[in-house]
Structures are given as structure tokens and as C-alpha cells.
Amino acid sequence: MQQLPIFIDLFGFGRRTFSVHTGVKLPAKRKTRQTAPTLSLSHFQFVSFGFWGWLILSTTKTLFRNMEVKSQESSISSAILKDSFEIEEATIKEIQTAFKQNKLTSKQLVEYYLDAIEKLNPTLSAVIEVNPDAQNQAAEADRDRNLPGGCSCGLHGIPVMLKDNISTKDKLNTTAGSFALLGSVVPRDSGVVNLLRKAGAIILGKAGLTQWAKYRSLCMPDGWSARGGYVKNPYGLSMDPGGSSTGSAVCVAANLVTVSLGTETSGSIIVPCNLNGVVGIKPTLGLTSRAGVIPITVRQDTVGPIGRTVSDAVYLLDEIVGYDPRDEITKEATQYIPRGGYKKCLKKDGLNGKRLGSLWYFFKDRCNYAPQVRETFEGLFSVMSQNGAVLLDGLDFPNLETIMNPKESGELLAFKYEFKRDLNVYLSNLLESPIQSLADAITFNEKHAVQEKLTEFGQDLFIESERTSLPNSEYTNAVNKLVNLSEQGFETYMKNNNLDAMVAPEDSATSILGVGGYPGIVIPAGFKPDGLPFGIMFGGLKGSDAALIEIAYALEQLTKARKPPKL
């Protein structure tokens, strides 16, 4: 659904390779050996082919390197999987059990997803790049698992897709979907990727997204980037896929990967997960590191997990939380991590005794829901009540309408100042980059207007941000206003009514969570008359992630609303 705030789907701030704009064509069937194809210059139409053409050609060759697959082995793997284990929709726990029982290997799992990407990505455009080292990582995971004391737990040997604004120090690019950062060299893995590697996860690739996490232009459509093209909703190719973590949600929804990471500033995980029938968690600000993530604003940006089930999202969350000295805000947030991790919050009786403040009264008429959607939400409220939750509807929520409007709240004004400041810091830390500042990015777009669709979408947000300077009293006042609105609004609402969580339809309350750094989770709830999925979201005060997981998991187990798309 389209929400009240203009910026409801910001980052908080989406095939084997990027084939949309380079002329790369993968064969209908995978061959024994893939080689880099010849690129067509007409697909670039750069002002000068020169360096940029060489860079993209080199990148494409790199992506195809190490992609040898023995066709006979692939056929055997497919037969084994068909007879013993069904990968589609399998949970992490089920996959780990299959590993232990020798019904599945990580190499077979990766091969399954690579085949699915090759088959479906030309239509969905959910993946920008596949990691050429993914198969090697899978083979290493299989070897480690078979050693004495080898691990078949957590994320070990599990493929993870990353939003293309999360840095990796490997053969993958990190570009926020823009050619302006193609070929840039990061100094190290991002904080969350470092933890994933330690956990033994396999980095499968980079997912498409709304370019620059939807902070280049107000006119930028959900899921579009210059490098990746348009990410499509697997439930209906003409339906809104949401953003900006579009590809991260679509990859999981379409079974192109087990789990993924997205980023959120104000809705960018919750929104696409709601529209693509998957689970998304926006953690408390600081629970996960933002070091090495292309920013909109460090005041609100967070990294969060996406899965087909609450348990899968939680398995991923457990591996990426914790203190990172490169992101000091994570130090304070460690107090919120429960001993033993968040997996212990996966309780079927998690609704029992929870006090939930419902915002249904505020959104039900504003959002013009179809009768069957209304019935679904009201049915869910009944299920929650029947299972021990106390639902309180119509409670006073101070400043709600102001918080929901990013212009009135000051959120947009704060972003304008923060984006230039924080992006320039990120760019200054790159070892190599075609651009060194926001001003350079603006110039790059002007020089490569066709590839970056400058005429169609513009770069108004870039230009407005570049005109700012700090310190500035206008900015300080805007941030102070946001703090006061959160404290006197959401925190007063929660504390005065002794609430464990807020519940709202779809992705409607993401602005509330974004401006205050509060956690949220969305789970599948049902389908609209046109077949588009929709979800139900929960939010709470800082550190209430555990309670939100208990609530969401319990409701998920009672409803089992997710159904995979028919592709």
C-alpha cells in the first residue's frame, strides 16, 4: 500500500551476474563452463567508452571466473535432492538437520540457488551480482562440517544475500545500485559481513535495491537502480515491490536464497517484506553495526534480517548483533541482547500476557482496505486475544499525525543535512573510488545521464543535500524536534499504557519506528484480492526486540499465512 509519508520506504536508512545493462546473456541451460561474453557498446552509450567500459568489462569477466560446474555432478545433485530433501521453503533448522543426516550439502544448496537465479532473475532482476567464490565457500563449509567436532548449526554453510549497500572485501562490488561506485574498493568487510563470515555463512551475492536507498530523488521508483534495473514483485510483475531493500525481500520470497540482509532508515526493510510475503526485522538502533554500509544517516540507519519465517530471520539476527568498535552506538545496545540469543524467544505461547496497543483505529479508514483485508486483520486481532494477548485499541497517541508526516516532523529536513555529511565520510574511507564526494556523484550522473536515467528520475535530493553545511541551527532544531516527538509521542503512548508492543496493519507505522530508532517486525498476514501479499507489523521501545519476536513467532505459528509465489 502507499502510505501517508513520502519517505516511508527509505533505506533506513534488489543469472549469475548483473545482466540487465551490460548486454550479458546467460544460456537457458547451464553449461559445463561459462566464459565472459562480448559486451555490446550500445548498452552503455557512455560519453566515452574508455576507462568505464574497461572497468565494466573487467568486472564482468571477474564475475564469470571460477564458475565451472560439472554437468554430470549437477544432475546427480538434483536427483539426490529430489529423492531426499525439498529445498524450496526449507528453514535454516531443516537445512541444518539435512546436513547432519547427509541428505544435503552446502554445495548442493548453493547449486540449487544458482540454478534458481539463472532461471528466474532475468524476470525478477532481484540479484545484481552472484559471488564467484560462493561455490568455493560451500565446498569449504562441507569440509569443515565433516571434520571432528564440525558444526551443523546456526548459519554455518547457509547462503545469505546482501543488499548492495553492504560492503564486502571480496570480488563483489558495493555500489548502492549506481555505476558511480562500480569498481570502488572498500578497506574491509562491513561489520555485519565480518560476523557472517565468522559464523560460516556463504555470501551468495548482492541484491538489487532502490538506488542509493531511495535518496537520490523523490521520483525514484521502488526497486530501480542503474546497475540492476527494475526489481519485480514475484507475486505480480506489475505490482509494487516496495523499497529500498527490494531485492533482499524478493530473493527470499522467490526462494533464490535462504535468508538476506536489508537496511532501513524509515521503512526500507518493513515495506518490501510486507509487499513480498516475507518476515523482516528492523532491530533497535545500534543492535547491528552500520560500519561499512553506504549511509543515508547514521542517526537512523540500521541493518536487519529477512527470512521466510520468523525463526530464519532470528537465526540470522543472532549472528549479526553485538559490539563493533567501528560503530560506537553498538556498545550501548549490547545491553539489549538476551543471554543465549534471540532464538530462545521463539515461543509458541509468546502472545500470552502481552499488552498490545492497536493502531487499527487510526489506519483502517485512512488506508481504504478491501473488505477481505479488513476481515483478515480483525480475525488476527481475535486470534491474538484468544491466545492470551490484551489488545487495547483507540488509546491516546500524542503527536501521531505529526510523526507520520516526514515534512512536518522534520525528518526530511534532518536527512538533507545528514546524507551529505555521512556519505562523504563513507567515500573518504574507500581505498579506490570513481567518486570521492556527493558533489562527484552529482557530476557523474550528469555525465552519464542515460545510464543513470537522470532525465526520468532526476537527483533533486542529491542537489538539495549538497547545498547544505554543518553546523547549522536549522538542522539542530529539526533533530531536537524529532527527539521530542518520539519521547512525548510513542514513548508516552507505550509507557503510560504499560504496553509490550504496538500493532499496526501492513507497513503503516514505520515512520514512528524510524525517527526514534525503535525496533519493528513484520510477518505475512494474507493476500489482497489482486494476489498481493500483505503483512502485520509490531513495534516497541528500544530493546524490546525479544518481546516483538515472541509475539510475531507465536502469531505466525497460529496462522501460517505465507504462501510462496507461483513462478
The residue from 163, 232, 364, 481 that is catalytic is: 163
pLDDT of residue 26: 34
pLDDT of residue 368: 86
pLDDT of residue 37: 31
Please name the amino acid found at residue 55: L
* Unique residue bearing C-alpha cell 541451460: 29
pLDDT tens track for 262-312: 999 999 999 999 999 999 999 999 999 999 999 999 999 999 999 999 999
pLDDT of residue 541: 98
pLDDT of residue 70: 37
Segment among 69-78, 242-251, 480-489 with least mean pLDDT: 69-78
Mean per-residue pLDDT, 181-195? 98
- Distance CA(211)–CA(456), nearest Å, equals 14
Mean per-residue pLDDT, 314-335? 98
The residue from 106, 268, 311, 508 that is catalytic is: 268
- Is 407 part of the annotated catalytic residue set? no
Please name the amino acid found at residue 345: C
pLDDT of residue 5: 35
Segment among 54-68, 159-173, 223-237 with least mean pLDDT: 54-68
Residue 355 has pLDDT above 60, yes or no: yes
pLDDT of residue 339: 95
- Is 75 part of the annotated catalytic residue set? no
Residue 457 has pLDDT above 60, yes or no: yes
pLDDT tier for residue 123 given thresholds of 50, 70 and 90 = very high
Q: Are 130 and 17 within 8 A, CB to CB?
A: yes
Residue 33 has pLDDT above 70, yes or no: no
pLDDT of residue 152: 80
Residue 28 has pLDDT above 70, yes or no: no
pLDDT of residue 150: 82
**Residues contacting residue 264 through CB under 8 Å, at least 6 positions apart:** 10, 11, 12, 13, 245, 270, 282, 301, 302, 304, 510, 514
Residue 82 has pLDDT above 90, yes or no: no
- Distance CA(443)–CA(146), nearest Å, equals 53
Task: Report which of residues 3 and 225 the model is more confident about.
Answer: 225
**Dihedral angle sign, alpha carbons of residues 482, 337, 267, 230:** positive
- Is 163 part of the annotated catalytic residue set? yes
Cα separation values, 19 from 37, 117, 363, Å:
11, 12, 41
CA angle 522, 527, 529 (to 5 degrees): 145
The residue from 190, 244, 289, 433 that is catalytic is: 244
**Mean pLDDT score of the chain:** 88
pLDDT tier for residue 83 given thresholds of 50, 70 and 90 = low
Residue 76 has pLDDT above 90, yes or no: no
pLDDT of residue 44: 30
Q: Which three cell numbers stand for residue 565?
A: 509465489
Q: Are 214 and 220 within 8 A, CB to CB?
A: yes
pLDDT of residue 13: 35
116: phi then psi, degrees, rounded to nearest 5: -65, -40
* Unique residue bearing C-alpha cell 547544505: 468
Segment among 25-29, 375-379, 532-536 with least mean pLDDT: 25-29
Of 3, 45, 2, 40, the closest CA to residue 19 belongs to 40
pLDDT of residue 169: 98
What SS3 state is found at 424?
helix
pLDDT of residue 81: 56
Q: Which three cell numbers stand for residue 305?
A: 534480517
Residue 54 has pLDDT above 70, yes or no: no
Task: Report which of residues 443 and 11 the model is more confident about.
Answer: 443
pLDDT of residue 366: 86
pLDDT of residue 14: 31
